[in-house]
Structure 1
Amino acid sequence: MNASPFLRQQLLLVDDEEDALQELAELLEGEGFCCLLATSVKVALQQLTRHPDIALVITDLRMPEESGLALIRRLREHTSRQYLPIIVISGHAAAEDVDELRRMQVLGLFRKPIYHVRLLETLNTLFPQPILHVANL
């Protein structure tokens, strides 16, 4: 259940570690975001097809079948999604990964375990919370 009185953007979270995925989804849903989950690149691509209003992807870099890098490459090659903002999370990013991510214009790289405050600051800058107007009684 969403604790926030308003809904913000729809985010796609991609990570093969289901516990990490659930924890991140709970955090972001508590901030009003609607989170769709995917445990693989294949499922992530299906979610992106089904939900054209996804505003941002947060993906793990290292996953067993296909990497987050493969997902980003596919998105950057796809005309309708080539500018979709992407944040990468990883516990094991090599220097060449960082260079490749920079070339593919990802919004940020967050090391695992994720520093949630910094992630929320980034998302709040991108997607400011709507201001609720209260009528004077």
Structure 2
Amino acid sequence: MAKKVLVVEDNDLNRKLFCDLLRAHDYVAEPVADGREALAAAQAQSPDLIIMDIQMPHVSGLDLIDALKKDDALKAIPIMAVTAYAAKGDEERIRAAGAESYVSKPISVMKFVEEVRNLI
């Protein structure tokens, strides 16, 4: 059975790219465009991995990671954070929030797929 990946990304092009890459490697990609829907989507779908954009309108990816890791039913799901704002200290803050992996945008296709494989 194919592994399910929840893709939380507000940018249409990035969300499509991530989902297309996942599907091309035999994963089931479940897109979420609005971060405010991420927690409910994770609870409803029980994904094997969550790919989380950090900079989104309405809600921070860091806050979502924190909420996911505080939920007993979801805390074991690995999270791969993706962000275009790779400033000094960002990776440490993202990992401290609970993300198991971190990839900066623009993504390297090879690194993206390798990180997904490493996490599930």
Q: Give matches, 1:43-54, under 5 Å.
A: 43-52=37-46, 54=47
* Residue from 80, 83, 94 that aligns with 2:76: 83
Aligned-partner residue type, residue 89 of structure 1:
V
Does the CA contact (< 8 Å) of 1:61 and 1:93 recur in 2? no
Deviations 1:68-108 (A, max 9, x none): 10110101111111121001111113334322222234222
Unaligned runs of 5+ in 2: none
Which structure has more relative contact order (CA 8 Å, sep 6+)? It is: 2
Alignment correspondent of 1:115: 108
Aligned-partner residue type, residue 36 of structure 1:
E
Does the CA contact (< 8 Å) of 1:13 and 1:35 recur in 2? yes
TM-score by length of structure 2 reads 0.90
Alpha-carbon distance in structure 1 between the residues aligned to 2:22 and 2:29: 7
Q: What SS is found at the alignment partner of 2:48?
A: strand
Q: What SS is found at the alignment partner of 1:81?
A: coil
Unaligned runs of 5+ in 1: 1-6, 128-137
- The answer to whether structure 1 residue 94 and structure 2 residue 87 are counterparts is yes
Alpha-carbon distance in structure 1 between the residues aligned to 2:54 and 2:43: 21
Q: What SS is found at the alignment partner of 1:110?
A: strand
Shift of 1:112: 0.6
CA RMSD of aligned residues (A): 1.5
* Residue from 69, 74, 86 that aligns with 2:67: 74
Aligned-partner residue type, residue 79 of structure 1:
D
TM-score by length of structure 1 reads 0.80
Larger Rg: 1
Q: Report how many aligned residue pairs link the two structures.
A: 120
Alpha-carbon distance in structure 1 between the residues aligned to 2:39 and 2:119: 23
Q: What SS is found at the alignment partner of 2:73?
A: helix
- The answer to whether structure 1 residue 28 and structure 2 residue 22 are counterparts is yes
Does the CA contact (< 8 Å) of 2:7 and 2:30 recur in 1? yes
Q: What SS is found at the alignment partner of 1:109?
A: strand
